[in-house]
Amino acid sequence: MRLAYLECFAGAAGDMFLGALLDAGVPAAVLEDTVRALNIGASLRIEKVDRSGISATKVYVLDHGRIAEDSDDPSHIEPPHQQEHTHTHAPSTQHLHKAGHHHNGHTVSEKHTHGRSLTEIRTLISNASLDSRVQRLALRTFELLGAAEAKIHNVPVDEIHFHEVGAVDAIVDIVASCAGIVHLNIGHWYSSPLNVGGGMIDCAHGRFPVPAPATAELLRDMPTYSAHIQKELLTPTGAALLRALEPTFGPQPAMCVDRIGYGAGTRNPKGFPNVLRLIVGESAAEQFVSSHLTDEVTVLETALDDCSPQILAYVSEQALALGALDIMLAPVQMKKGRPGTLFTLLCTPGTESTFADLLFRETSTLGIRTRRESRLILAREILTVATPFGPIRVKRASSDGETRNLAPEFEDCRAAAEKHNVALKEVQQAALRAAAENS
């Protein structure tokens, strides 16, 4: 499986995503063709730049041949040849602005055209000649941005009108990034915790601490921290792209790296490489244990010292009936020398809330530990074999087509033993012989 790891030690923004994707091997033509398909007069300018001694790729979005205002990167100054300015607007909950059009204290009021609504952006992307996977990911990203703004301003999402997020550069950043992401064909995305930066920013809604309101809303449940730079490092567009990717957060997974890309932001602070690093490679588990399948499970675990064995047995039965993958009960010694039981439950990721509710409802636990784990598994199938005692189901586990284990279904064997008044082990042995002949 192809894996990708995003190192967001300097935050993330749309231009940084584009640069990292290109630097990691996405052909420029993939992004350029995507921008051309949008038919909004945009194009790209791609440069190699130095960020604290690190060679990185910087992408500028051109709007009819001129560098588009860098609204996606509010903490970064404009390129040197651009006039420094900000925009001031009358507040409006239906005309939303991204933060940070303050550069060196200069303020210039300019007239803006009416911002694009979420409906208009949906239509623009849907009508473009793009791969359906690119369209879905881009639409998902804008939906996340719209939902965040709608919640902040307490208005229906379809009433949201984007100004800066709906501007040419932000649309290009999102849609072209999605094209690069799809091109990489990553099986699973991972990310480091996110550095949001620090300090205060000026936006149309007033002066706010970093992260900006929309960014903060998008970052719910994501691991974040503030370090190194008193500027906004993680923009709404960067946060929305991360949210749409749904990465697993934590350290870099075991992988055989074959590509590393550095995407540059505009700002170049001394001694701090303002880049997004993208690492791409193959899962080490598949490289070294290719004969096994892998998947992920969620582990729920709690220790109980005041719960009866009858309750524990009942809860185990209920959890298995709800679709738990496995239940394990182990004796442990708890505080004050009390004997207790460690209750461990495995389930499919995304279903953990069902089992957490069950444990909180039926046991005396006050807290449940959860974690995501990967596991190596054998391929499994259920065979129905004919025996002198009737049909019996047998679970067959295999690797590379070779049978590794055969296990008769206990309930089938017990029913057959009771029906024919024979020993249970006689039925089990007959089922194993029949399954071995059919394997």
Contact 204, 67 (CB under 8 A): no
Nearest one of 164, 157, 236, 233 to 204, comparing CA atoms:
164
For residue 272, the 8-state DSSP code is S
pLDDT at 43: 94
| Tokens standing for residue 161 | 């009108």
CA of 384: how far to CAs of 377, 393, 399, 424, 437, in Å? 22, 4, 20, 18, 12
SS3 state at 74: coil
pLDDT at 98: 35
Nearest one of 425, 346, 439 to 389, comparing CA atoms:
425
Burial environment of residue 363 by CB neighbours within 10 A (0 to 12, 13 to 18, 19 or more)? buried
Distance of CA 240 to the CA centre of its chain: 11
pTM of the model: 0.59
d(CA 260, CA 4): 10
- Domains along the chain with CATH numbers: 2-287 (no CATH), 293-372 (3.30.70.1380), 379-438 (3.10.20.300)
For residue 197, the 8-state DSSP code is B
CA atoms within 13 A on the CB side of 175: 34
SS3 state at 214: helix
Q: What are the two backbone dihedrals, phi and then psi, of residue 277, each rounded to the nearest 5 degrees?
A: -100, 130
Q: What are the two backbone dihedrals, phi and then psi, of residue 220, each rounded to the nearest 5 degrees?
A: -55, 135
Helix or strand holding residue 162 (H, E):
strand 161-162
| Tokens standing for residue 16 | 């940084």
pLDDT at 118: 85
Place of tokens 């461990």: 344
Helix or strand holding residue 13 (H, E):
none
One digit per residue, pLDDT tens: the chain, 439 residues? Answer: 899 999 999 999 999 999 999 999 999 999 999 999 999 999 999 999 999 999 999 999 998 888 875 544 433 323 333 333 333 333 233 333 333 333 333 333 333 444 678 888 999 999 999 999 999 999 999 999 888 888 887 888 777 766 545 578 889 999 999 999 999 999 999 999 999 999 988 776 678 888 888 899 999 999 999 998 899 999 999 999 999 999 999 999 888 999 999 999 989 998 899 999 999 998 876 554 455 677 889 999 999 999 999 999 999 999 999 999 999 999 999 988 899 999 999 999 989 999 999 999 999 999 999 999 988 888 888 889 999 999 999 999 887 778 889 999 999 999 999 999 999 999 999 999 999 887 6
Q: What are the two backbone dihedrals, phi and then psi, of residue 408, each rounded to the nearest 5 degrees?
A: -65, 145
